[in-house]
Structure 1
Amino acid sequence: MPRLPHPTAAQLRRDPLPLRGRTALVTGASRRGGIGYAVARRLVAYGASVYLHHHVPHDAAHPWGADRPEDVVAGVREARADPGARVLDGPGDLSDPAAPAELVRTAAEALGGRLDILVANHALSGDDGTLDTIDARMLDAHWAIDTRSVILLVQAFARLRAELPPRTPGGRVVMMTSGQDIAGGMPGEIAYGLQKGALASVTRSLATTLAEHAITVNTVNPGPVDTDYLSGEAYESIAAMFPAGRWGMPDDPARLIAWLATDEAEWITGQVINSEGGFRR
């Protein structure tokens, strides 16, 4: 096989809109304080059209609350660099086994029949415990939302991409994990840590499976991110564990995820990438 030539000077110049013409589905974008919102803003700033998935009842049941979907959409549209890019949204309860495939189909149809990028950002918050306090219901709830729905989303996405010409470029899957296998783990969140660990473990298998379709699969551990769930003394103690003296902000992992969606990252696949600012556990 001949060696590929070095890129031309023109190819080395960075495109200010590297995702122009691409389409993306971002799950778990119910509020402006979250990672999903930051990811969506980055993607549209790079030129992509984005479909935002939300499940407002989940966030509304927690202290941080949920934003109105129209406010989330407006904030993402504000970041658009390509006036022709679309920002659309829709609900979905991903604990329903049929919901992932329906969501992928709905997003693709809304964005013109094609989906290039899947960012599975959603997760079940709360309803967890230690080894002594968890029960079957907690384990099943986290499995259904944190893991099963993600695999079914990837399955539906892959089937949709398989309808395109062979090796159509731009196929990207990014999943999210939580550093549950680093240092002390997550002993107080056994169900959540278990299901997120499953995504980390299956990353390489999915990448190998989808390589023939020119789809990369990577998983990002964002580390502790300030998404408005902690304050006071506990907040400050976590901030002191970062060399920078601050928490990660939603845009910190969003920059990595947006880059993974570009053609510059086409050689990166099957990786679990820690993006946590040197956090010292």
Structure 2
Amino acid sequence: MSTPPSPSLPLVGRVAIVTGVSRRQGIGYAVARRLAGLGASLLVQHHRAHDLDQPWGGDDLDAVTSGLRDELVGVARLVDVAADLADPQAAEDVVARGVEAYGHVDVLVCNHARSGGDGDLMAIDATTLDGHWQVNARSTLLLTKSFAEQHDGRAGGRVVWMTSGQQLGPMRGEVAYAASKAALAGLVPTVADELVERGIVLNAVNPGPVNTGYLDLDTADRSEETLAKVLASFPLGRFGEPDDPARLIAWLATDESRWVVGQVLNTEGGFRRW
């Protein structure tokens, strides 16, 4: 694992943990593919039980891991782990599994998120708020803490969090989700300042509206008129695709991003919120 990075394969010899990699239509899968293509070895986390509760359902995990293995370069490897990040111990266990498999982890991408079970202000309760906090915010902080504890200061330490653009406009009906993601966006400068002294660069990415399969569903609350209205908000004439944010996240994982620290970066294709 000591091979120096090359311009064409800048992550050769490095290891990346990517969470929320359970569906081939998901952002996590697109990120993992990009990192593998840059030479990284991978540990990917998934929690299929969450997907099975969603309208889009679960994917074939064997197909997910097989697709990622096809992208690996040279001697790079793939390890996958099932973990429910609502469990307070799960974050530490995921990082420990990466250290056990590879000896050291260089990159952490916290892509996971809880979907569903949300509502507007008058519909939420303490249980709803706590559930989104546990998965979206608390586990991200605990993953980052465990990652920083094992990091030995070598070059290439990178952490990427995911936000949702809640600071750019309203997210009606998603109060618990927006609150948990807003907590992360607000913490980026503080945690980045602490991590940079350890040789770790932290940034966050807001991917904007990305079609991870949910826009393909035939649901009563998603009429053609509603979709056309949202689509018209994209000057490029299409919704985001998983590989769109994955390109930025992969760049942030390389040495090319070394001077970008503590930022929340929006990659929304010019999405108009007005």
- The verdict on a shared fold, with TM-score over 0.5 as the criterion, is yes
Q: Deviations over 1:20-39 (max 9, x none)?
A: 11100000011000000000
Q: How does 1:83-102 map to 2 (within 5 A)?
A: 83-102=74-93
Aligned-partner Cα distance in 2 for 1:85–1:237: 44
Give me the TM-score of the superposition, normalised by structure 2: 0.93
The match for 1:267 among 237, 241, 259 is 259
- The code of the aligned residue for 1:76 comes to L
Does residue 137 (structure 1) correspond to residue 124 (structure 2)? The answer is no
CA distance in structure 2 between the aligned counterparts of 1:216 and 1:59, rounded to whole angstroms: 31
Q: Which residue of 1 is the match for residue 242 of structure 2?
A: 250
SS in structure 2 at match of 1:213: coil
Aligned to 2:104, the other structure's residue is in SS state coil
Q: How does 1:70-109 map to 2 (within 5 A)?
A: 70-80=62-72, 82-109=73-100
| Amino acid in the other structure paired with 1:134 | I
| Counterpart residue identity of residue 129, structure 2 | L
Per the TM alignment, residue 238 of structure 1 is displaced from its structure 2 partner at its CA by 2.0
- Give the structure 2 partner of residue 209 of structure 1: 194
Distance 1:238 1:83 in 2: 42
| Helix, strand or coil at the partner of 2:259 | coil
Give the paired residue count. 261
Work out the CA distance in 1 between the residues paired with 2:61 and 2:17: 15
In structure 1, C-alpha distance between the alignment counterparts of 2:133 and 2:20, rounded to whole Å: 16
> Which segment is superposed worse, 134-143 or 226-235?
226-235
TM-superposition CA deviations, 1:186-240 (whole Å, max 9, x none): 1210000000000000001111001111100000000000101124613333222
Q: Write the distance in 2 (CA, Å) between the matches of 1:117 and 1:236.
A: 38
- Counterpart of 2:118 (choices 100, 108, 128) is 128
What stretches of structure 2 of length at least 5 have no aligned partner?
A: 1-5, 217-222
Aligned-residue identity in percent: 53
Residue 108 of structure 1: CA displacement?
A: 2.1
Q: Per the alignment, in what secondary structure is the counterpart of residue 230 of structure 1?
A: helix
Residue 3 (structure 2) aligns with: none
TM-superposition CA deviations, 1:67-125 (whole Å, max 9, x none): 12211111112222x22111120100000101100110012212x21100000000000
CA–CA distance in structure 2, aligned partners of residues 143 and 267 of structure 1: 30
- Distance, in Å, in 1 between the alignment partners of 2:78 and 2:179 is 33
Answer yes or no: is 1:174 the counterpart of 2:166.
Answer: no
- Kindly provide the amino acid, as one letter, of the partner of residue 186 in structure 1: M
TM superposition shift of 1:259: 0.1
Given that residues 218 and 269 in structure 1 are in contact (C-alpha distance below 8 angstroms), is that contact kept between their aligned partners in structure 2? yes
Q: Residue 175 of structure 1: SS of its match in structure 2?
A: strand
Superposed CA offset, 1:38-80 (max 9, x none):
0000000000001110000000111111112211111112222
Structure 1 gap segments, 5+ residues each: 1-13
- The residue type paired with residue 219 of structure 1 is A
